[in-house]
Structure 1
Amino acid sequence: MVPAPSATVADLIARAERGFAAAKLRRDGLDQRRKAAIDGVAHALRPTSMDPAIPARRLLFLDLEGPEPLAAVVLGDPDTATHLTWQVSGAGIRPGTAMWGSAREAGELLLAQRAAGAERPAVIAWLGYPAPGLLRAVFNRAARGAVERLAHDIRRIGVLLPDDVHTGIEAHSYGATLAAHALARLAAEEVPTGSRRTRIDTFATTGSAGIPAGLLADPRTLGVPVDRRFEAVATRDHLARWGRVLSGRTAVAGLPFAVEGHPASGLHTVTGHNTSRYVPGTVPAEYGYRDPGTLSLHNLARILNGTTPAFT
C-alpha cells in the first residue's frame, strides 16, 4: 500500500515512530549495526536521557534497509516553527554511535536560538548518510553519493513548512561538503509551474572539510545569498585545514565568524575540530563548535536566526 501524502511534519513523525516501534520488536533478529542504530535512537528519544531543558526528541526517520542504518531526530515543532535548521554532521558520525550526542547538540542549538530571540525554533539532527571515516573524507564520493537523500529530505520537509519560516543548514566537517552538494542539487532543479521552490535562507559551516571550488564559482549555484553564507575554522582545528589541503577543496565558502572566545562575555574558545569536547572538571577545559557556553554556538544561533554574528 502506498502511504497517504503527508499534510504536516507531524504526520511524518507519527509514521516514523510507528515504524520504530515495529523495528524494536524485531531488534534481536538484526545484525549488530542495526541493533546499535535502534539502541542509539531509543536512547536519544528517551525523555530522561538529557537535560530536561532540552525539548522532547521525535523521530523523523530510521532507515534500516540500506547498507548502513540512517536516521534523523527532530527537536521542536517544524509545523509551527519560526526557524528550522538542518544540523548535518561529519566524518564518522552515525546513528549507532552518535545519535544521542547529535540530538543533544541539536537541542543545545535550539536553546541558544531561543536565547538569541527566536520565538519557536526547531532543529533536525540529520544522520542520513553513511558518514565516511577520516581517510575517505578527503574524497567527494561519499558526499556525491548522499546528496539525493539530503536534498530529498530538505525538499519533503520544505513543502510542508509555513511560507515565512527561516530555514538554515548548520554543517560541520565533511557535512559541509555534503550540504553544499545538496544545495547545488536543489538550486538546479526545475520547479513545476505552481509549485514552490525549496528554499534555504542561511548556510553556516564549522570546521569544514572544504567545498569543491566548482560549486562556488557562480554565486547562484548554491541557491543561498552570498551574504547568508558563513564559515568558521578554529585556530586549533588542524584537522579541517589538513582536510582541505589533502582534498584540494576550497577554503573560502562564506563570511567568517568568530569562534575564538569573548572573555568579557564569558564565551569560550573552540579548542579543536570536534563539535563537542567539554567535560566538566577537565583542566584545562576544552570546547567544541557546538558546546554550550562557546562563542561558536552563540554566533551559530544568531546566524541561524537570520541575523549576524557577534564579536567579529
Structure 2
Amino acid sequence: MVTGELGTDEGGPRRRGRVLRALTAALITAAVVVPLSGAARPRIPAPAPARLAEITAATLPQAYAANRANALEAARMAAAHGDTGRARTERALANPSRQLLAFDGRGTGRVTEVFGDLARADRTAVLVPGSDTSLDTYARFRATATALAARLAQEAPPGTRTAVVAWLGYETPGTVSATVLTTGRAEQAAAGLGEFIRDLHAVTGRTAHVALLCHSYGSVVCGRAADRLTVDDIALIGSPGTGAADVRALHTTARVWAARGGDDWVAEVPHVRAHVFGTTVGFGTDPVDPAFGARVFAAGDGGHSDYFRPGSVSLANLARIVLGERAEVSRA
C-alpha cells in the first residue's frame, strides 16, 4: 500500500500519483538489484578496530599511531585475500603522515581522518559524506577535505587555527539502492555522529567553533542527528532533504545553511515523504526552499560533486561559514 505526505506540492493528484509510482518502482528495483550485486563481492577480512584510551588532546598522537597500525594490518590481510585495491588504500592510510582518529577496515570500511592540528584548532569543520562513500572510494572524499583545508589555510585571519575532519563514520547507502530512499541508514548513523561530536569537544574544548558540512545523503544523517549535536553551524549541500519539514523541526540551536549548485541533479529529486509498504520513502522539504527556513547561500553552477572544487563559489562560501565570516557569505 502506498500513501503520501506531500506537503505543499501543487502539482495535483495526477503528479502525486506519478511521484509515488516512481518511488515505489525505484524501491522495488533497488530491493532486487542491490542485494544481487552486493553479493557478488566477497567480504574482505580485516582486524577489529584498535582499542583506544579516551581520546583527548594529550592522547591524540597515540590514537593516530594505533589506527595507522591497524590500517597496516588490514592492508596485509586484504593483500593476502587478493584485494589489491583495498590493500593499496589501507597502506596509504598507514603512512606516518596520516592522522587517523578512527579506522575500521571491516566490510565497506570506516575512517575518520584529521587535517591540521585538531588539539589547537579554534575552528573545526567536520565533513559528512553521502552515498557510495567507502574505503574503496575514500580518495574522492579525502580530496574534498584537503581542498577545504587548503582554502581555510589561505583565508583564515592571522592567529586563527583551523582543522578539517573527514568523518566516514557510517555505512553509506548505494546511490542505486533501497536504503538511499529512506532515513533508515541515517538514523543508524546519527548516534555515531553525536558521539563523535562529543569526543571532538573533549579534544578541542567547548569554546572551539565547530561547523558541520553535510553533502547529499550526509545531510539526511545531519538532519537526524541535529538535536543531539553541539555545533555552531550546519551546512546542507546538494541535499535531497533532511527528513524534517523545516529548520524548527531539526530542534537545533546551530545556524542552518543550505546550497545547491546550478547543475546538481539532486534538484530533480521529488521533495516528498511517502509511506510505501510500511516504509517512509523520501526526505520532505527542499532545504533551499524558503519554506524550510535555512540561510541559502550561493554555490555557483557546479554539479553534485563540485561543492569543494578549488576556486569554486561554493568552496569559498563554505570556508567563510567555517571561519564565522557570516556577513561575507554570498547569498543565492
What band does the TM-score fall into relative to the shorter chain?
Answer: 0.7 to 0.9
The Cα offsets for residues 141-194 of structure 1, whole Å up to 9 and x where unpaired, read as: 1101111111111111112213321111011100011012122234xxxxxxxx
Shift of 1:11: 1.8
1:19-58, aligned counterparts within 5 Å?
19-25=67-73, 27-30=75-78, 36-37=85-86, 39-43=88-92, 46=95, 57-58=98-99
Partner of 1:52: none
Does structure 2 retain, via aligned residues, the 8 Å contact 1:27–1:38? yes
SS of alignment partner, residue 59 of structure 2:
helix
SS of alignment partner, residue 149 of structure 2:
helix
Cα RMSD (Å):
2.8
Does structure 2 retain, via aligned residues, the 8 Å contact 1:63–1:69? yes
Partner of 2:247: 216
Kindly indicate whether structure 1 or structure 2 has the higher relative contact order, using CA contacts under 8 Å at least 6 residues apart.
Answer: 2
User: Which of structures 1 and 2 has the bigger CA Rg?
Assistant: 2
Partner of 1:115: 154
Whole-Å separation in 1 of the counterparts to 2:129 and 2:228: 19
The Cα offsets for residues 59-83 of structure 1, whole Å up to 9 and x where unpaired, read as: 1111135x43111110001110011
Does structure 2 retain, via aligned residues, the 8 Å contact 1:206–1:289? yes
Q: 1:151 to 1:18 in 2, by over 3 A?
A: same
Whole-Å separation in 1 of the counterparts to 2:190 and 2:51: 25
1:95-134, aligned counterparts within 5 Å?
95-97=135-137, 99-118=138-157, 119-134=160-175
1:190-205, aligned counterparts within 5 Å?
199-205=230-236
SS of alignment partner, residue 203 of structure 2:
coil
The Cα offsets for residues 222-257 of structure 1, whole Å up to 9 and x where unpaired, read as: 231xxx211101222122541645714211352110
Shift of 1:16: 4.1
Whole-Å separation in 2 of the counterparts to 1:33 and 1:167: 40
Letter in structure 1 aligned against 2:92: H
Q: 1:5 to 1:61 in 2, by over 3 A?
A: closer
Partner of 1:289: 307
Unmatched 5+ stretches in structure 1: 48-55, 187-198, 261-268, 275-287
Unmatched 5+ stretches in structure 2: 1-49, 273-280
SS of alignment partner, residue 192 of structure 2:
helix
Shift of 1:101: 2.4
Shift of 1:259: 1.4
Shift of 1:25: 3.4
- Aligned pair count reads 263
Does structure 2 retain, via aligned residues, the 8 Å contact 1:92–1:132? yes
The Cα offsets for residues 38-75 of structure 1, whole Å up to 9 and x where unpaired, read as: 5324435658xxxxxxxx5411111135x431111100
Partner of 1:238: 265
Letter in structure 2 aligned against 1:110: A
Does structure 1 retain, via aligned residues, the 8 Å contact 2:74–2:90? no
Residue 174 (structure 1) aligned with residue 206 (structure 2): no
**Of the candidates 276, 285, 288, which is equivalent to residue 250 of structure 1?**
285
Letter in structure 2 aligned against 1:213: A
Choose 239-248 or 117-126, whichever is displaced more. 239-248
Partner of 1:154: 197
What is the percentage of aligned positions where both structures have the same residue?
A: 26
Residue 184 (structure 1) aligned with residue 227 (structure 2): yes
